[in-house]
Chains A and B, each alone.
Chain A
Amino acid sequence: AQKITQTQPGMFVQEKEAVTLDCTYDTSDPSYGLFWYKQPSSGEMIFLIYQGSYDQQNATEGRYSLNFQKARKSANLVISASQLGDSAMYFCAMRKGSQGAQKLVFGQGTRLTINP
């Protein structure tokens, strides 16, 4: 069975510092996709970044990068130069890579608080 583990329930970081949010996953499928979503207090789910299991390079999107270590089954999110607006819940999710469906398995989330 697929599983996503986020071991940090909460993190507190000073503004402008970089922050790493941990995510480990468990799957027996060779093909899968990994996602990070941001959920601010308003509640919507905002897509941040995606990494495919066969992608050779780590994904990057602006200030977001995904530190993908396949052998360790980890997909940590790195946010550089954090801003106050980064305060939110962050969810790591995995999609099974075989036939059909955007069926994601989510972790429990990490609540990130950026301090001024």
Chain B
Amino acid sequence: NAGVMQNPRHLVRRRGQEARLRCSPMKGHSHVYWYRQLPEEGLKFMVYLQKENIIDESGMPKERFSAEFPKEGPSILRIQQVVRGDSAAYFCASSETGANTGELFFGEGSRLTVL
């Protein structure tokens, strides 16, 4: 039973390029969350999605960042025109329901480096 799968694990981009990070939730999970971890800091919530819907994007920067979770396929976090400050680890997590019970399962993270 595979856990939350994220790819790529490491991504290097030059300033101005686009970064696409993918997340496949655990089997049977339809709720996906993206978090960002800047160096030497804790994780910060970005966005919460269910299949085909964005439920809460209160932590997403207003520009250049977008997320989707299509009916088929993984959730995608897209960063356009990356800048050095986007360098961080991006974690995806999934849960079976949106209820406030139980465990949130994290992926291993995708580490973005912007040159």
User: Which residues of A pack against B, CB within 8 Å?
Assistant: 4, 31, 33, 35, 37, 42-45, 47, 50, 91, 93, 95-98, 100-109
Interface 9-residue window, one of B60-68, B73-81, B103-111? B103-111
Q: By the criterion CB–CB under 8 Å, are B42 and A45 in contact?
A: no
Selected from B41, B43, B99, B107, the residue in CB contact (under 8 A) with A104 is B43
CA distance A100 to B95 in the complex (A): 11
CA distance A104 to B35 in the complex (A): 9
Shortest CB-to-CB span from A74 to chain B, Å, is 17
Interface residues on B, range: 20 to 34
Select from chain A the residue with minimum beta-carbon distance to B110: A43
> Which residues of chain B from 38 to 93 have a CB within 8 Å of any chain A CB?
40-45, 48, 55-56, 89, 91, 93
List 4 additional contacts besides A101-B98, A106-B42; criterion CB under 8 Å: A45-B106, A100-B99, A101-B56, A109-B42
By Cβ-Cβ distance, the 10 closest A-B pairs, closest first, are A106-B42, A45-B106, A44-B108, A102-B104, A106-B43, A100-B98, A102-B95, A101-B48, A103-B45, A43-B109
**Complex interface: chain A residues within 8 A of B40 (CB):** 109
Selected from B45, B98, B109, the residue in CB contact (under 8 A) with A45 is B109
Q: By the criterion CB–CB under 8 Å, are B93 and A91 in contact?
A: no
Q: By the criterion CB–CB under 8 Å, are A95 and B100 in contact?
A: yes
